[in-house]
Amino acid sequence: MEKQLLLGDEALAQGAIDAGLSGVYAYPGTPSTEIMEYVQGSKLAAERNIHRKWSANEKTAMEAAIGMSYAGKRAMVCFKHVGLNVAADAFVNAAVTGVNGGLVVVSADDPSMHSSQNEQDSRFYAKFAMIPILEPSNQQEAYDMAYIAFELSEQLNVPIMIRITTRLAHSRADVVRKAMKQQNEVKLPSDPRQFVLLPAIARRNYKKLLLGQAAMELEAEKSPFNQYIEGANKKMGIITTGIAFNYLMENYPDRVCPYPVLKITQYPLPQKLVSKIYNECDELLILEEGAPVVEEMIRGFLNLGKPVHGRLNGLLPRDGELNPNLVAKSLGMSYYEGNAIPEIVKNRPPSLCQGCGHRDVYADLNEALKEYGTGRVFADIGCYTLGALPPFNAINTTVDMGASITMAKGAADAGLVPAVAVIGDSTFTHSGMTGLLDAVLENAPITVIISDNSTTGMTGGQDSSALGKILEICKGIGVDPEHIHVTTPLHKNHEENVALIKKELAYQGVSVIIPQRECIQTFARRKREEKKNA
């Protein structure tokens, strides 16, 4: 087949489609978003009627995928690394239920936090749940791994994690496709109680999971994705995981490394291969993108063996992405450093678009809060988080999706009254609704501003599950309709909106204000598409 230029994300999506995927379940999040978007744009996926609608959050996505697996079909779940925190309960238990149809979980890590609030390493989760990981080192491997992962999942009776990081997710390269597989038919699990995690059954399943570890390791041991590359100089042995291999090889223009290299892309760590490089070499250097997961395992708590170098002994930075130069330094190689960045070059942080409705919301809120002083605005995650920066300096917290409402409530419980929550529409249906129920049950004195731009703006304007539903949801949860207001965040309405916020700040109970104006980027795109289709 001919070559295609695909992002790592797109290669995963295409590999899964070709592997007989029946449904992808996801919530957007950089750098994973383009997986679902590729499936949504794929003609083949439409022809094959592959499920490809966004879920309300990562937990609902994960659970729907487990349901599809239960019914015998192949399902894939995609999210960014912190999405796995949200899905974790379902994820860990899915390892105990096992699968029926192949189940693949793609978790996209963001070392260096280009667009994230932390740089947690998803491999810890897979280890925790005791399931295999595939960690492609390039776009072709991303395709190939998605292509085999469903079968591996069915064979080993566990979900398979595919772990990628930002640079692979968002880098394009040639990919060659393989023959298309049929989707599975609907078929119930042979054991009708496999998915019933009552303690008695869970104990039995869990023993199976433990017993299955040997088979998982055997798969990694013989996996063509894990390679032992001989090297003449045994002073050092190098273990790479995922894309770190590329950064190593970049430093050898003829692509021959003088040291033995163990390239790991399938876990659990293959013990025989690791022992081989350990026994053969005097010292080890571990190159991995993200946390020192493998390094820690090989080094051991007491570090009594041969010298192991990497992020833990300071040869490489403890945090942030790797790159070819950091790897060169760790190998003692020198390179031309280029010219320094001139001093006149200034930082250019991201900012809210000119004309964005969130701007008006913050202008209104800042004005209304003047009499109470600063330090009482609990915000959430989305474009509106940029309200933390000048000129607004409008928000005081951003922790995780949904935390605005619940943190405002906690602060109000502590006596910080009034407390304000600012949350986006997509974040509200992701995980704000349940917190609002907590607040309603105690009639907490908080003012919740749901800044509704009718889209998931930060991640590029995906459909929002909240569209057209927020008002009814708030009423349904039990907010007093007298204290729910829909407004239009426009400069011309400034005074009216300020007065309304002031009034609700003074109210000793839950109020919800819903400033509603479509994101101007989504609006422009919608207009372009309407024109195209006209």
Partner 1 sequence: MKSDIILAGVGGQGILSIAAAIGLAAVKENLYIKQAEVHGMSQRGGDVQSNLRISDKPIASDLIPAGKATLILSVEPMESLRYLPLLSENGWLVTNSTPFNNITDYPSTESIIAEIKKVKNHIIIDADAIAKEAGSSRASNIVMLGAASPFLDMPFESIEDGIRQLFGRKGADVVETNLKALRAGRAYTEKNS
Are the C-beta atoms of residues 287 and 327 closer than 8 Å to each other? Answer: yes
109 binds ligand TPP per the rule CB under 6 A:
no
80 binds ligand TPP per the rule CB under 6 A:
yes
What residues between 323 and 352 interact with ligand SF4 by CB under 6 A? Answer: 352
Q: Whole-number minimum distance, CB 150 to ligand TPP, in Å? A: 24
Strand partners, 308: 284
Q: Whole-number minimum distance, CB 356 to ligand TPP, in Å? A: 8
3-state secondary structure of 119: coil
Give the separation between CA 142 and CA 134, rounded to whole angstroms: 9
Give the separation between CA 328 and CA 512, rounded to whole angstroms: 55
Figure out which of the listed residues 447, 455, 487, 497 binds ligand TPP, where binding follows CB under 6 A: 455
Figure out which of the listed residues 426, 447, 487, 511 binds ligand TPP, where binding follows CB under 6 A: 426
Give the separation between CA 491 and CA 525, rounded to whole angstroms: 23
453 binds ligand SF4 per the rule CB under 6 A:
yes
Q: Whole-number minimum distance, CB 386 to ligand SF4, in Å? A: 7
Give residue 36's identity as a one-letter amino acid code.
Answer: M
What residues between 19 and 58 interact with ligand TPP by CB under 6 A? Answer: 27-29
Figure out which of the listed residues 384, 445, 474, 504 binds ligand TPP, where binding follows CB under 6 A: 384
Asked, as a colleague might, if the bond just before 268 is cis with ω within 30 of 0, I would say yes
521 binds ligand SF4 per the rule CB under 6 A:
yes
Are the C-beta atoms of residues 16 and 187 closer than 8 Å to each other? Answer: no
What residues between 240 and 259 interact with ligand SF4 by CB under 6 A? Answer: none
Figure out which of the listed residues 81, 311, 358, 376 binds ligand SF4, where binding follows CB under 6 A: 358
273 binds ligand SF4 per the rule CB under 6 A:
no
Q: Name which of ligand TPP, partner 1, ligand SF4, none residue 199 binds, using a CB cut-off of 5 to 8 Å depending on partner kind.
A: none
What residues between 462 and 501 interact with ligand TPP by CB under 6 A? Answer: 464
Whichever of 34 and 219 has its CB closer to ligand TPP, that residue is: 34
Residue located via tokens 């701007």: 359
Are the C-beta atoms of residues 474 and 484 closer than 8 Å to each other? Answer: yes
Q: Name which of ligand TPP, ligand SF4, partner 1, none residue 520 binds, using a CB cut-off of 5 to 8 Å depending on partner kind.
A: ligand SF4
What is the total count of residues that contact ligand TPP (CB under 6 A)? 24
Are the C-beta atoms of residues 98 and 209 closer than 8 Å to each other? Answer: yes
Figure out which of the listed residues 159, 260, 402, 457 binds ligand SF4, where binding follows CB under 6 A: 457
3-state secondary structure of 532: helix
Whichever of 194 and 246 has its CB closer to partner 1, that residue is: 246
Non-local (6+) Cβ contacts of 98 within 8 A are 157, 158, 194, 205, 208, 209
What is the total count of residues that contact ligand SF4 (CB under 6 A)? 10
Are the C-beta atoms of residues 62 and 25 closer than 8 Å to each other? Answer: yes
Q: Name which of partner 1, ligand SF4, ligand TPP, none residue 426 binds, using a CB cut-off of 5 to 8 Å depending on partner kind.
A: ligand TPP
Non-local (6+) Cβ contacts of 266 within 8 A are 132, 133, 134, 135, 219, 220, 223, 225, 226
Q: Whole-number minimum distance, CB 455 to ligand TPP, in Å? A: 5
- How does DSSP classify residue 283? E
Are the C-beta atoms of residues 278 and 295 closer than 8 Å to each other? Answer: no
Q: Name which of ligand TPP, partner 1, ligand SF4, none residue 22 binds, using a CB cut-off of 5 to 8 Å depending on partner kind.
A: none
Task: List residues near partner 1 by CB under 8 A.
Answer: 3, 5, 7, 30-31, 33-34, 114-115, 167-168, 170-174, 243, 246-247, 249-251, 255, 323-325, 328, 335-342, 344-353, 383, 386, 390, 458-460
DSSP 45-75: HHHTT-B-PPPSSHHHHHHHHHHHHHTT-EE
Non-local (6+) Cβ contacts of 452 within 8 A are 424, 425, 466, 470, 514, 515, 516, 517
450 binds ligand SF4 per the rule CB under 6 A:
no
Figure out which of the listed residues 247, 425, 446, 515 binds ligand TPP, where binding follows CB under 6 A: 425
Q: Name which of ligand TPP, ligand SF4, partner 1, none residue 86 binds, using a CB cut-off of 5 to 8 Å depending on partner kind.
A: ligand TPP
State the residues that interact with ligand SF4 by CB under 6 A: 352-353, 356, 358, 383, 453, 457, 519-521
